[in-house]
Amino acid sequence: MNIIRENKCLNHLAHAGEMGKRIATFDWQSTPLGDPSKWQANLITALGIMLENKFPMYIAWGQNLIQFYNDAYIELLGDKHPKALGSTPSVTWSELWEEISPLFERVFNGENVRFDDHPMTINYNGRLVQRYFNFTYCPIRNADGTVGGVLDTVIDTTSDVLNKKALSRNEEKFRILLEAAPMPFLSMDKNWVVDYINPSALALMKMEIEELIGYTIWEVFPKLRGSVFEEAYHKAMDRGENASIIGYFPDFGRWYQVWAYPFNQGIAVSFIDINESKRLEQKLNEAIIVRDDFLSISSHELNTPLTSLKIQSQLLKRDIMSGNPKAFEEARIRRFSEHTEKQVSRLTRLIDDMLDVARIRSGKLTIKKELFDLAQFVKEVVIRMDPHFKVAGLEYPEFKITGCTQVIGEWDSMRIEQVISNLINNAIRYGEGKPIALALECKGNKIIFSVKDHGIGIEKSSMERIFDRFERASEKQQTKGLGLGLYIANQIIAAHNGRIWAESTVGEGSTFYVELPWNPPA
């Protein structure tokens, strides 16, 4: 048992906390150190420094390694305190002695020994536990330069190490998730340098990782400067706010939705390609415009013949009700009948066109092929259009056939007549009363039918869209109709695996060509 006694030469240490009092009153005579009054001055000085320090510190003195420690070191000892004071490390740290004894030897040979986050299994409060420590063993030298003892500064880093390991495991899990995630993701440090990018982002960008990592985002994608994406990135980086933006990325020529999130080392960016949804959105907007145009044009076009019929019938009714004897004159009844037939025919054409568009849009435009002679068929269509030529004051068009005498093949006669009559009607309408020419040419396994007029022609800027819905061959004069004829004709010919196109010179006229596949009978 240690005997509490007064060591006058150590009284100045008694004010330095619990361990100062214990060292000042410890029975050092019972240890190899003996009477404190005979201790070396460097030991007394080292004890003063150790006791005043807030870090856990420990001194092992002399060849016997007699132990001293400060208040901060008590926590590391657990139930080994206070027995460790005046004892030796081989006793106090018997479970570690095999590991740490070489360290004391190195210090007594003049070395400084340091370890960071060093794992040690210690007996703490009666059970073995693994702890981690930062510690430094430094020599305390005597006046003659020899090593008198060892000063150990130690910090328990167990909590930090375990937290780092947990964080590392979480980071690894997070990285694995990011690597497997379908969402493209990248991160940039505070200098805008790309320091991570996942495989989904590389695949979307069609780039190699070496092209991105280590470069600033502005070096890799200079066109980001001045874009909405730069604004979003700065919002996250400079103001620490989450940012979301939809924009067009010129480097890839596509639309993206981008999210930018700030974190302590920079910003994280995730993004998706929304080009397809943007395309669908644009098509939807175009469809809405087309619908509105359709409703506007069709309501006007349908209303015109209905209004004409209404006016004519009201006039006739008024004359009948008033007893006007001219109401039933043969000439007037004939005119009324012809006018009614004309307006009904116009309504029928408009409704047929509208139905055809509905069939085309729903994919229900059917082609019923039959065997017939196309050359003879064209002549028959021309005859059936006799009233149109008479109204326009035109003779039947010249019809030239080259490369064959008969053009017998399989097509949908009703739909082909629809195309031919539409092209001839357009030639009459825009031909300014000048002659029209028809031609049919046989070329191997295809035939080419054409309709040529010498009228106003078509502007070059309009050529690409004349086969769209609600477009007319010319806007230079007021024309009746929905502007669906060429659109329907194009769809019919496409359904026959053919094509239709036009050539035109403004002021000189236009020629429309229809090319159809043809398998001549053997």
Domains and CATH numbers, the chain: 8-158 (3.30.450.20), 181-273 (3.30.450.20), 277-361 (1.10.287.130), 370-517 (3.30.565.10)
18: its two tokens: 């619990």
Burial class (CB in 10 A: 0-12, 13-18, 19+), 322: exposed
**DSSP-assigned letters across all residues of 83-121:** TTTTS-HHHHTTTTHHHHHHHHHHHHTT--EEEEEEEEE
Name the residue among 296, 299, 308 with its Cα closest to residue 343: 308
- From CA 13, how far away is CA 23, in angstroms rounded? 8
Dihedral sign, Cα of residue 273, residue 279, residue 285, residue 287: negative
How high is the pLDDT of residue 297? Answer: 54
Instruction: Answer for the pair 373, 407: CB distance below 8 angstroms, yes or no.
Output: yes
Angle at CA 116, nearest 5°, toward 114 and 118? 100
What is the pLDDT tens value at each position of the chain, 522 positions in all?
Answer: 444 456 778 888 889 999 999 999 999 999 999 999 999 999 999 999 999 999 999 999 999 999 999 999 999 999 999 999 999 999 999 999 999 999 999 999 999 999 999 999 999 999 999 999 999 999 999 989 999 999 999 999 998 888 888 777 766 766 766 676 678 889 999 999 999 888 888 888 888 989 989 999 999 999 889 899 999 999 999 999 999 999 998 888 889 999 999 998 999 999 888 888 888 888 888 777 766 666 655 565 556 567 667 777 887 788 788 877 777 787 878 877 777 776 676 677 667 766 666 666 667 778 889 999 999 999 998 988 888 888 888 999 999 999 888 899 999 888 898 899 889 988 998 888 899 999 999 998 999 999 999 998 888 878 877 887 655 444 444 444 446 778 888 888 998 999 999 999 998 999 999 999 998 776
> Which residues is 156 bridged to in the sheet?
133
Cis peptide before 82 (omega within 30 of 0): yes
Quote the pLDDT of residue 332: 76
What Cα–Cα distance (Å) separates residue 217 from each residue in 165, 187, 223, 267, 416?
31, 10, 10, 12, 58
* CA pair distance 521, 371, nearest whole angstrom: 10
d(CA 53, CA 367): 99
Please classify residue 15 by burial: count the beta carbons closer than 10 Å to its beta carbon, then call 0-12 exposed, 13-18 middle and 19+ buried: exposed
Query: Model's pTM, two decimal places?
Result: 0.42
The backbone torsions φ and ψ at residue 175, rounded to the nearest 5 degrees and listed phi first, read -65, -40
Whole-angstrom Cα distance, residue 189 to residue 441?
Answer: 70
Find the farthest-apart pair of alpha carbons in the chain and give their distance in angstroms, rounded: 156
So what's the pLDDT on residue 174? 62
Residue 136's pLDDT is what?
Answer: 94
In 323-450, where does DSSP find H-type helix? 330-361, 374-384, 386-392, 413-430
CA 49 – CA 51 distance, rounded (Å): 6
CA-wise closest residue to 154 among 168, 170, 167, 137: 137
Backbone angles phi, psi at 6, to 5 degrees: -95, 125
Q: Strands 243-249, 398-402: parallel, antiparallel or unpaired by DSSP?
A: unpaired
